[in-house]
Amino acid sequence: MSRSMIAIVDLGSTENAAVAREIRDLGMYSEIFNFDVKPNELGALDGLAGIILNGGPNDVVDGEKIDVDAGIYALGIPVLNVAHDARSEYSAWPGDRKAVLDAFIEKTGKARDWNTDSFIESEIKLLREQIGSRKVLLALSGGVDSSVVAALLIKAIGNNLTCVHVNHGLLRKGESEQVIDVFRRQMGANLIYVDAVERFLTKLEGVSDPEQKRRIIGSEFIRVFEEEARRLDGIELLGQGTIYPDIVESGTKTAKLVKSHHNVGGLPEDLKFELVEPIKMLFKDEVRAVGRALGLPESMVSRQPFPGPGLGVRCLGAITRDRLEMVRESDAILREEFDRASLAGKVWQYFTLIPDTKSTGVRNNARAYEYPVVIRAVNTVDAMTAEVPEIPWPLMKKITDRILTEVPGVCRVLMDLSPKPIATIEWE
Ligand code: XMP
């Protein structure tokens, strides 16, 4: 099955990904290519319907102004040359960009055949072709990307997929239970649940430096996963939740660098896996749409970003079990109340964290020396900058009351009002 597609050639635009998304929104698949792509590489693409030469301000590489191989014009494929002929004026798309793209797609005369269902259908075929009767291993964290990869692989190869869910004790309330419920009970997946809570918390005891905490959590995770992999026989492939922004994030010229970062970094040499990356050409909103179409619960597909080291970087300083429970419980209350107030889709990320300093309170007419909890809620587009949205005061009071009465050991609730920059989103 060949699907129509538009190739976007990056001639220094800062908006390649935005253009690619808009084209896909208009129903045609699109991909971004480096400025030095060869005409025959483009010509060999299945279903190539049009080419966009996407000029922009970053048009000098290694001291030379970049340009495309003129052979591209000889391919006989419609070419849209954006701001490129003007040479000095790279900034503007003529008029309304979406309308320009819509007209260009129309001009190609090719079918608008990019949608969630057509992606799922063709990806499942491709997965079956790549995998055959071989077995695939997948680290299933319960995040959006790994969950959608799991759902696709279950559909494509059923029990030839083995999922490993490692509970490192730093997940949010109910997360491991949801992974087991959705994948093992509802989807019948072959799921290995590894309770590594004690192991992680013991390793982290007394460690207060945030970067060292991250390193321990990262390397211990790989070690646990590797032990599970060695226990299983005859697995040749490893599923990965790489998505398109991982590849194109900072321009196509960095694609190789970002990719290697997302490969099986750290797994030992003798554990050689071929990679299976079924969502590597999808943007995040497309990943969510695929998840919904495959029947994953909304709470899983619309999940907010959550750092790999989890609550480990929200339990400030050296992690203690009592404070870890306080941050987990207060975070669950915050999420529940934001959900109830229908803020879930309106605020980008919200969570609680707990400092490692006590403060004075009064409980049952006696002095109590307990912990404060901090609420962090931010809106952002790309997590590079962020602002604090206004949260209705009655809701803040309700959340505060609930945390103070329901979470033992907490006597104070604070709200972080700092934008990024200067403050980062996480405290560690
Ligand atoms: P900062 O704190 O840098 O966070 O403003 C930006 C975004 O990245 C998330 N974050 C992490 N994600 N591993 C991750 O996978 C990490 O170590 C990590 N630290 C921060 C953070 O939650 C926010 O969405």
In a domain, 365, yes or no: yes
111 half-sphere exposure, CB direction, 13 A CA radius: 9
Distance 316 CA to ligand 1 centre (A): 14
Over residues 295-309, mean pLDDT: 95
Find where tokens 């309330």 sit.
173
Res. 90: pLDDT tops 60: no
Q: How many percent of the chain have pLDDT more than 70?
A: 92
In angstroms, what is the span from residue 301 Cα to ligand 1's centroid? 19
Average pLDDT, the chain: 92
The domain boundary, picked from 108, 142, 157, lies at: 108
Q: How far away, in angstroms, is 143 Cα from ligand 1 center? A: 14
What residues flank ligand 1, with Cβ below 6 Å? 214, 305, 307-309, 349, 383, 420, 424-426
Extended beta strands in 160-269, E state: 161-167, 190-195, 235-239
Question: Band of the pLDDT at 261, cuts 50, 70, 90?
Answer: very low
Is the confidence at residue 163, as pLDDT, over 80? yes
Which CA distances in Å does 146 have to 141, 149, 163? 6, 5, 10
Could you tell me the distance, in angstroms and rounded to a whole number, from the CA of residue 424 to the centre of ligand 1?
Answer: 9
Contact 402, 394 (CB under 8 A): no
Residue whose CB lies within 8 A of the most ligand 1 atoms, among 425, 427, 428, for a mutation test: 425
Taking only the tens place, the pLDDT of each residue in 17-52 is 999 999 999 999 999 999 999 999 999 999 999 999
Same domain for 383 and 294: no
Q: How many domains does the chain have?
A: 3
Write the residue with the smallest CA distance to atom 3 of ligand 1.
Answer: 424
CATH number, domain containing residue 179: 3.40.50.620
- Is 390 a residue whose pLDDT tops 80? yes
User: So what's the pLDDT on residue 84?
Assistant: 56
211 and 128 both lie in a single domain: yes
Domain that holds residue 247: 116-301
Note whether 52 and 140 are same-domain residues. Answer: no
pLDDT in tens, 167-203: 999 999 999 999 999 999 999 999 999 999 999 999 9
Give residue-wise pLDDT tens across range 341-379.
999 889 999 999 999 999 999 999 999 999 999 999 999
- How far apart are the C-alpha atoms of 82 and 94, rounded to whole Å? 8
Given a cut of 70, is residue 85 above it in pLDDT? Answer: no
Instruction: Please tell me the total number of residues recorded for the chain in this structure.
Output: 428
**Residue among 112, 79, 76, 85 at smallest CA distance from 8:** 79
Question: Does the residue 428 lie in any domain?
Answer: no
Residues 123 and 220 in one domain: yes
Q: Given its phi and psi angles, is residue 173 left (phi above 0), alpha (psi -120 to 50 degrees) or beta?
A: beta
Q: Same domain, yes or no, for 122 and 99?
A: no
